[in-house]
Amino acid sequence: MKKISAIRERPAPHRPHHRFLSGIGLAAFFCFFMMVSPSEAVDLSAELTAGYDSNPALADPSDGSGFSVYGLGASHSFGLSQDLALHLSAEGRYQDYWSVGDNYRLQAGTALSYVMADGRFLPSLIGEVAAYRDALIEADERNEAMAGVAADWILSNRLTLGFEQTFRWLSYLNWAKPFSGKGQGRNGDNGGGGGKNSSAATRSEWVWAGPPSDQGKGKGELNKFYPPRDNRLMVTGVDLDIFILPTLTGRVYGAYGNLNSSLDMESFREIQAGAALSWAPAELWLVGVEATWYRTQYYSVPDNITSVRRINYSWWAGLQVSRFWGHIEFFGQAGWKSGDAPLDYESYTQTVIQCGLSYSF
């Protein structure tokens, strides 16, 4: 479960050499897993998905596109002692939009866990590094690093309580206008764009590291380009798993996030609440439904900027149906998202429908 909505992801130009270098780094990490002794179990997974996204940029008006998703993951746990274990994981995900710019994310994580109270309490130290690139909303490109603590506590044979406290550093790579990320109210032609349908002049504006040429022409604070953000995100989350029946499991969760942005007006507090159900109606079948609500407050917007909505609301709902054949999972998904954008009092809606398969080995 993602405890808090993904921070307004910011990308940079669609530069193939970045993808190549990031791919080499992820390949090296997978090679590490492959060198583990055969007696040690390494979990590998691959995913192939196709679908349609009605609004990839979370903008109004929307520009929909079909897409393909290619994913690869690996994980391994090392038993350091009877009660202490080290877990390593790596994952790569590339989303190929057929009509607009693509995006991809590479990440590697670790968790050091210690078993206490006869296995009923499991605290962990967790960490993660990631790189996100997006040719559609170039203002979202960033590198990330995260550190934190997590714990799972088995309260009874029907209830498990989870807790997570994380601190995430988000280093964005491009100059951009305020509120240029996904769902922020500024479309691709207005300071955050790029991708397959953008003009050569728009794309070339992002090839160098300095500010674009129109900075400082007196267009107002919302229309100036600012240096790449250096943000800090603190998230506190709790969740409760409820084992209702042998075939029915529920989860309720909530989280509080606080983003401290180097561009003050983009700093915010966010509250998230959600619930999910997982039902196995028959052998080898699984149905999941989930809904999440968000309240976001931008608390450092200057008083003289009146075109920014300081409190925004959004919600997301999803449905997934899976059928398993051995190590292969075939699934279909549908998701709906609707929300307020802080800039210019705009809002957005999104529908994503996809199907695919996941293979674990």
Q: How many domains does the chain have?
A: 1
Please tell me the pTM assigned to this model.
0.83
Strand partners, 331: 322, 356
Which DSSP state fits 56? Answer: T
> 354: closest CA among 1, 47, 10, 46?
47
Q: CA–CA separation, 155 vs 159, rounded Å? A: 5
Asked whether the bond before 227 is cis by omega within 30 degrees of 0, the reply is no
Which DSSP state fits 218? Answer: S
Supply the DSSP string of 167-209, one letter for each residue.
EEEEEE-S-B-TT-STTSS--GGGTT--STTS-HHHHHTTSSS
- What are the tens digits of pLDDT across the range 68-126? 999 999 999 999 999 999 999 999 999 999 999 999 999 999 999 999 999 999 999 99
Residue 1 lies in a domain: no
How would you label 194-232 residue by residue, b for 16+ Cβ within 10 Å and e otherwise? bbeebeeeebebbeeeeeeeeeeeeeeebebbbebbebe
Residue 217 lies in a domain: yes
Place of tokens 């149906």: 321
CATH code at position 243: 2.40.160.40
CA–CA distances in Å: residue 357 to residues 65, 188, 326, 327: 20, 32, 12, 10
Supply the range of the domain harboring residue 95: 16-37+45-360
3-state secondary structure of 34: helix
**Burial, 175: exposed, middle or buried (Cβ in 10 Å; 0-12, 13-18, 19+)?**
buried
Residue 9 lies in a domain: no
Residue 7 lies in a domain: no
Residue 218 lies in a domain: yes
Residue 4 lies in a domain: no
The pLDDT value recorded for residue 125 is 98
> Which parts of the chain have pLDDT scores under 50?
1-22, 24-25, 28, 38-39, 189-210, 213-219
Residue 198 lies in a domain: yes
Strand partners, 46: 72, 359
Residue 55 lies in a domain: yes
